Structure 1
Amino acid sequence: MTETGGPKPRRRPIVRLGLFLISYSFLVSVICCTAAVGALLLLPLLAKTTYVSENALMPGSASSMLYSEDVLEASSLVSKIMSLDPSSIGTGVEIRSLIAQHVTELGGEVNYHKFQPQLQKFHPLYFFSGPDEGTNLENNSCSSFGVSTVGIIRALRGDGKESIVLVTPYNAVNISHAEALSLGVAYSVLSLLSRVTWLAKDIIWLAADSQHGEYTAVASWLRAYNAPVFGYKNAPQYEICHENDLSGMNMCPTEGTARCDGFRRAGTMAAALVIKVAGNSPEFEKDSLSIFAEASNGQMPNLDLINIVNYLAVHGQGLHVKVNKVWSLLDSWWLKTLGRLLELVGEVARSLNPTWNFGKTVSEYVEGTATLASSLYHQALGVPTGPHGAFRDYQVDSITMEISRHFSSNYNFRNNEFLHRSGRLVEGVIRSVNNLLEKFHQSFFLYLLTSPNKFVSVGVYMIAFALLIAPLPLVAASLYADANKRNPDAQKDVLLSPEAENEASISFRSWKWLHAARTVFIIHLWGVIVALLPYFIYQIPGSSPFSNLSLWVVLSTISMIILKSSVCSSTNIIMQHQSIEWALLKSVTVAAAFVGLSLMSVINFAAAEIGALLLVPLCLMATPLRFAFKIRTPRAIAQGVGNLLLIILGFPPVTYFVVKGVVEGYDMVRVDDFWIFLESLWDWNSATYLYICMIHLPCWVLCILILLHSCQ
Structure 2
Amino acid sequence: MAKTDRDTSKGKPRPIVRLGIFLISHSFFFSVVFSTAGVLALLLLPVLAKNTYISENSLMPGSVAPMLSDQEVAEGNRLIEDLNALKSKPLGSGIGSQRLVAQYMSNLGAEVSFHKFHRQPSQFHPLHFFSSPDSRRIEQNISCALHGVNTIGIIRAPRGDGKEAIVLVTPFNSVKVNKNEALSLGIAYSVFSLLTGVPWLAKDVIWLVADSQFGEYAAVAAWLRDYHTPVFSGVGTLDAEMCPEINNLRGMEENLFTERMTFDGFKRAGTMAAALVIKVGDRTQQYEDSLSIYAEASNGQMPNLDLINTVNYLAVHRQGLRVKVEKLWSLLNMRWLKTLGEMFELLGHYARNINPQLKFGIPAAEYIEGSATLASSLYYQALGIPTGPHGAFRDYQVDAITVEILPKVFTLGNKVRQNDFLLRSGRLIEGVVQSVNNLLEKFHQSFFLYLLTSPSKFVSVGVYMIAFALLVAPLPMVAASLYVNASNSDESMNSEKSSPSATAVDSASSPTTTDAAPLVTLSESTPLLTAADSGSLATVADSASLATAADSSRFATTADCITLSSWKWLYAAKKSFIVYLWGSVVSLLPYFICQIPSCTPTTSFIIWVLLSILGLVVMYGILASPFSDANDSKSQKEWAILKSVTLSAAFIGLCLMSIINFATAEIGGLLMVPMCLMAHPLKLDVKTRSLRTISRAVCNLVLGFIGFPPVTFIVLKGAFEGFSSINVGDFWSWVESLWAWNSATYLYIGVVHLPCWVLCIHILFHHC
Report if TM-score (shorter chain) is over 0.5. yes
Match of 1:98 in 2: 100
| Alpha-carbon distance, 1:135 to partner | 5.8
User: Identical aligned pairs, as a percentage?
Assistant: 58
Match of 1:109 in 2: 111
Equivalent-residue separation in structure 2 for 1:29 and 1:337 (angstroms): 26
Residue 163 of structure 2 is aligned to residue 161 of structure 1:
yes
Closer, same or farther in 2 for the Cα pair 1:369/1:259, shift >3 Å? farther
* Aligned with 2:452 (options 442, 449, 459): 449
For the pair shown, the structure with the greater C-alpha radius of gyration is 2
Equivalent-residue separation in structure 2 for 1:93 and 1:243 (angstroms): 8
Amino acid at match of 1:256: E
| Alpha-carbon distance, 1:314 to partner | 0.4
Is the contact made by 1:233 and 1:262 (CA closer than 8 Å) also made in structure 2?
A: no
| Alpha-carbon distance, 1:541 to partner | 1.3
TM-score (structure 1 length as normaliser): 0.96
Match of 2:616 in 1: 560
Residue 376 of structure 2 is aligned to residue 319 of structure 1:
no
Is the contact made by 2:138 and 2:236 (CA closer than 8 Å) also made in structure 1?
A: no
Amino acid at match of 1:685: N
* Aligned with 1:483 (options 478, 482, 486): 486
Is the contact made by 1:119 and 1:136 (CA closer than 8 Å) also made in structure 2?
A: no
Equivalent-residue separation in structure 2 for 1:214 and 1:135 (angstroms): 20
Is the contact made by 2:494 and 2:557 (CA closer than 8 Å) also made in structure 1?
A: no
Equivalent-residue separation in structure 1 for 2:236 and 2:177 (angstroms): 24
| Alpha-carbon distance, 1:626 to partner | 1.0
* Aligned with 1:279 (options 268, 282, 291): 282
Closer, same or farther in 2 for the Cα pair 1:187/1:13, shift >3 Å? same
Q: Counterpart of 1:460 in 2: which secondary structure? A: helix
Match of 1:393 in 2: 395
| Alpha-carbon distance, 1:446 to partner | 0.1
* Aligned with 1:363 (options 356, 361, 365): 365
Match of 2:698 in 1: 641
Is the contact made by 1:66 and 1:189 (CA closer than 8 Å) also made in structure 2?
A: yes
* Aligned with 1:520 (options 571, 576, 588): 576
Q: Counterpart of 1:677 in 2: which secondary structure? A: helix
* Aligned with 1:262 (options 261, 265, 268): 265
Amino acid at match of 2:393: F
Equivalent-residue separation in structure 1 for 2:655 and 2:677 (angstroms): 16
Equivalent-residue separation in structure 2 for 1:490 and 1:566 (angstroms): 30
Equivalent-residue separation in structure 2 for 1:621 and 1:87 (angstroms): 69
| Alpha-carbon distance, 1:238 to partner | 3.8
Match of 2:525 in 1: none
Q: Deviations over 1:525-551 (max 9, x none)?
A: 000000011111112111111111110
Equivalent-residue separation in structure 1 for 2:207 and 2:114 (angstroms): 12
| Alpha-carbon distance, 1:373 to partner | 0.3
| Alpha-carbon distance, 1:230 to partner | 2.3
* Aligned with 2:731 (options 657, 670, 674): 674
Is the contact made by 2:382 and 2:663 (CA closer than 8 Å) also made in structure 1?
A: yes
Equivalent-residue separation in structure 1 for 2:195 and 2:238 (angstroms): 29
Equivalent-residue separation in structure 1 for 2:76 and 2:369 (angstroms): 38
- Farther-moved stretch of structure 1 (413-422 vs 319-328): 413-422
Equivalent-residue separation in structure 2 for 1:426 and 1:575 (angstroms): 75
Equivalent-residue separation in structure 2 for 1:430 and 1:401 (angstroms): 14
Equivalent-residue separation in structure 2 for 1:281 and 1:569 (angstroms): 62
Q: Counterpart of 2:266 in 1: which secondary structure? A: coil
Residue 421 of structure 2 is aligned to residue 439 of structure 1:
no
Is the contact made by 2:384 and 2:743 (CA closer than 8 Å) also made in structure 1?
A: yes
Match of 1:345 in 2: 347
- Farther-moved stretch of structure 1 (298-307 vs 618-627): 618-627
* Aligned with 1:630 (options 687, 698, 701): 687
Is the contact made by 1:487 and 1:505 (CA closer than 8 Å) also made in structure 2?
A: yes
Equivalent-residue separation in structure 2 for 1:227 and 1:247 (angstroms): 22
Equivalent-residue separation in structure 2 for 1:697 and 1:135 (angstroms): 35
Q: Counterpart of 2:256 in 1: which secondary structure? A: coil
Amino acid at match of 1:383: I
Is the contact made by 1:280 and 1:406 (CA closer than 8 Å) also made in structure 2?
A: no
Equivalent-residue separation in structure 1 for 2:661 and 2:42 (angstroms): 17
Closer, same or farther in 2 for the Cα pair 1:193/1:15, shift >3 Å? same
Equivalent-residue separation in structure 2 for 1:49 and 1:95 (angstroms): 44
Closer, same or farther in 2 for the Cα pair 1:435/1:604, shift >3 Å? same
Amino acid at match of 1:678: V
| Alpha-carbon distance, 1:137 to partner | 2.3
Residue 619 of structure 2 is aligned to residue 617 of structure 1:
no
Amino acid at match of 2:678: M
Is the contact made by 2:630 and 2:767 (CA closer than 8 Å) also made in structure 1?
A: no
| Alpha-carbon distance, 1:161 to partner | 0.3
- Farther-moved stretch of structure 1 (662-671 vs 407-416): 407-416
Match of 1:178 in 2: 180
Q: Counterpart of 2:597 in 1: which secondary structure? A: coil
Q: Counterpart of 1:169 in 2: which secondary structure? A: strand
| Alpha-carbon distance, 1:131 to partner | 6.0
Is the contact made by 2:137 and 2:236 (CA closer than 8 Å) also made in structure 1?
A: no
Equivalent-residue separation in structure 1 for 2:135 and 2:237 (angstroms): 21
Unaligned 5+ segments in structure 1 are none
Equivalent-residue separation in structure 2 for 1:242 and 1:185 (angstroms): 32
Closer, same or farther in 2 for the Cα pair 1:275/1:302, shift >3 Å? same
Is the contact made by 1:132 and 1:220 (CA closer than 8 Å) also made in structure 2?
A: no
Equivalent-residue separation in structure 2 for 1:706 and 1:608 (angstroms): 23
Q: Counterpart of 2:392 in 1: which secondary structure? A: helix
Is the contact made by 1:660 and 1:666 (CA closer than 8 Å) also made in structure 2?
A: yes
Is the contact made by 1:117 and 1:135 (CA closer than 8 Å) also made in structure 2?
A: no
Equivalent-residue separation in structure 2 for 1:152 and 1:71 (angstroms): 20
Is the contact made by 2:195 and 2:201 (CA closer than 8 Å) also made in structure 1?
A: yes
| Alpha-carbon distance, 1:97 to partner | 0.6
* Aligned with 2:707 (options 637, 650, 657): 650
Q: Deviations over 1:425-469 (max 9, x none)?
A: 000000000000100000000000000000000000000000011
Equivalent-residue separation in structure 1 for 2:651 and 2:220 (angstroms): 38
Closer, same or farther in 2 for the Cα pair 1:576/1:582, shift >3 Å? closer
Match of 1:686 in 2: 743
Closer, same or farther in 2 for the Cα pair 1:302/1:180, shift >3 Å? same
Amino acid at match of 2:585: I
Closer, same or farther in 2 for the Cα pair 1:171/1:86, shift >3 Å? farther
Closer, same or farther in 2 for the Cα pair 1:70/1:561, shift >3 Å? same
Is the contact made by 2:257 and 2:263 (CA closer than 8 Å) also made in structure 1?
A: no
Amino acid at match of 2:689: R
Amino acid at match of 1:539: Q
| Alpha-carbon distance, 1:491 to partner | 8.7
Q: Counterpart of 1:394 in 2: which secondary structure? A: coil
- Farther-moved stretch of structure 1 (345-354 vs 229-238): 229-238
Number of residue pairs aligned between Structure 1 and Structure 2: 708
Match of 2:335 in 1: 333
Q: Counterpart of 2:162 in 1: which secondary structure? A: coil
Q: Counterpart of 2:161 in 1: which secondary structure? A: coil
Equivalent-residue separation in structure 2 for 1:334 and 1:272 (angstroms): 40
Match of 1:79 in 2: 81
Give 1:217-616 correspondences, 5 Å limit: 217-231=219-233, 237-242=239-244, 246=249, 248-253=251-256, 255-258=258-261, 260-283=263-286, 285-408=287-410, 411-487=414-490, 495=501, 497-568=553-624, 572=628, 579=635, 581-616=638-673
| Alpha-carbon distance, 1:676 to partner | 0.6
| Alpha-carbon distance, 1:88 to partner | 4.2
Is the contact made by 2:285 and 2:409 (CA closer than 8 Å) also made in structure 1?
A: yes
TM-score (structure 2 length as normaliser): 0.89
- Farther-moved stretch of structure 1 (571-580 vs 644-653): 571-580
| Alpha-carbon distance, 1:692 to partner | 0.4
Equivalent-residue separation in structure 2 for 1:137 and 1:347 (angstroms): 66
Q: Counterpart of 1:486 in 2: which secondary structure? A: helix
Equivalent-residue separation in structure 1 for 2:761 and 2:108 (angstroms): 68
Q: Deviations over 1:223-260 (max 9, x none)?
A: 00001122257986443334796463332426412254
Is the contact made by 1:571 and 1:577 (CA closer than 8 Å) also made in structure 2?
A: no
Equivalent-residue separation in structure 1 for 2:135 and 2:669 (angstroms): 32
Is the contact made by 1:278 and 1:405 (CA closer than 8 Å) also made in structure 2?
A: yes
| Alpha-carbon distance, 1:138 to partner | 4.1
Equivalent-residue separation in structure 2 for 1:200 and 1:369 (angstroms): 41
